[in-house]
Amino acid sequence: MRVSFKPVIASLVLLAIGGGIGVAVSRQQLLLKEQAATPDQATESTPLLITTDDPNLTPTTEPQRSNFIAAAVERVGPAVVRIDASRTVATGVPDALQNPFFRRFFSEGTEPPSERIERGTGSGFVLSQDGRIITNAHVVEGADVVDVTLKDGRTFEGKVLGVDALTDVAVIQIQADDRLPTAPIGSAETLIPGQWAIAIGNPLGLDNTVTVGIVSAIGRSSAQVGISDKRVQFIQTDAAINPGNSGGPLLNDRGEVIGINTAIRANAQGLGFAIPIETAIRVATQISTSGSAEHPFLGIQMLDLSPDVKAELNASKNIPFQIERDSGVFIMQVLPDSPAAAGGLEAGDIIQKIGQTPIKSAADVQAQVENSSIGDPLTIEVLRNQQVLSLQIQPGRFPAQDTP
């Protein structure tokens, strides 16, 4: 029996031609499978098998090391939910179409619809193991049906316990057979710009989406954000927040919830806003207890003073005196029969302190009043006609209608 040398010669030729490759993979092993061959089979090629133990060429099966973002998401992710809400809204059929003359052009059963169904998707997260979920008020406000989907795929019908339009906070209750995963709560009071911010939610219908950025600013007033009807000092972040993120958690680098993602400015690029978690928890607790939230109310219209504002006010004929201060909070109007009127505040007063806290802006006043209690005296120091006065004001309950 003869052994063919042609495969060996062919291999040597390949090594000579690919000498550069041979040097680069010097650790390769060439396994030649010998087999008996007849003279007629000597022309057939012998299989050439190439293997390598070079770690740069061998796929690894070792698990990837987690970073702090992945660890935070792993900690909170199971508690983040998708909320699908639907509501019935009137279509606003024009009055002209209600006229019998026009209605006769519609056959029976094809009359113009008087209402339609609107559907939307938002986010939320589990506050307690018994199924209380917190989200934005605008996600579920007016909803007839709310479906809550957990990360593990389970879906529940949720009952809206209450909404608070002033802070854009709502609470949903679902009934689950077992204890649900909850999101660990952190604090927004010690935040400083530049810290990490991680957002989790369901933007554009893409469930369990994670984005990351930093805390861009804190204490943004509702007027600065462009939603002046709210009473919130917002956290600003550049973590991407898109439609569907509303109600989802904003996390710190330890995987603790520091806020609820909420407002998006249509004309902004890379800006998102979140409700501080302390505000959200306080409101959610009231909603869970009584079905609604109560907010302290003074009944004043305010304006931040600046040199330009002072000059404009002094030049107007609406102010019967000259303003000397370049800064502070100027009371433009005191509403009749309001707590402010009962306590002696007057238009033209400049607020300097509330309690022991110096006041620099209308946002400071709003924050101090929001943190007070209805009916408990609030000491307000004002400058009136160059005299400092200390007044005791008892905040009332914020009226149902939109009142400043």
- Residue 393 CA, distance from chain mean position: 35
- Residue 228 CA, distance from chain mean position: 18
- CA–CA separation, 246 and 264 (whole Å): 9
Rounded to 5 degrees, φ, ψ at 43 are -85, -10
Q: Which residues are CB-neighbours of 106 under 8 A, at least 6 positions away? A: 112
Question: What is the chain's Cα-based Rg?
Answer: 34
- List the catalytic residue out of 168, 295, 338, 361: 168
- List the catalytic residue out of 123, 246, 338, 361: 246
**Tokens standing for 1?**
């029996």
Residue 168 annotated among the catalytic residues of the structure: yes
In a 3-state reduction of DSSP, which class is residue 19?
helix
Residue 390 annotated among the catalytic residues of the structure: no
Q: Which residues sit opposite 9 in a β-bridge?
A: none
Q: First CA to last CA across the chain, in angstroms?
A: 106
DSSP state letter for 400: S
Among 206, 124, 207, 138, which Cα is nearest to 173's?
A: 124
Measured CA to CA in angstroms, residue 197 lies from 30, 136, 234, 365, 368 at distances of 53, 19, 14, 28, 26
- Taking a C-beta distance cutoff of 8 angstroms, is the pair 293, 162 a contact? yes
Q: Which residues are CB-neighbours of 57 under 8 A, at least 6 positions away? A: 25
Residue 327 annotated among the catalytic residues of the structure: no
The secondary element (H helix, E strand) that includes residue 379 is strand 378-384
DSSP E strand boundaries for 166-256: 169-173, 196-201, 209-220, 234-237, 249-251
- Other C-beta atoms closer than 10 Å to the C-beta of 68 total 14
- CA–CA separation, 83 and 80 (whole Å): 10
- Taking a C-beta distance cutoff of 8 angstroms, is the pair 214, 196 a contact? yes
Which residue numbers are catalytic? 138, 168, 246
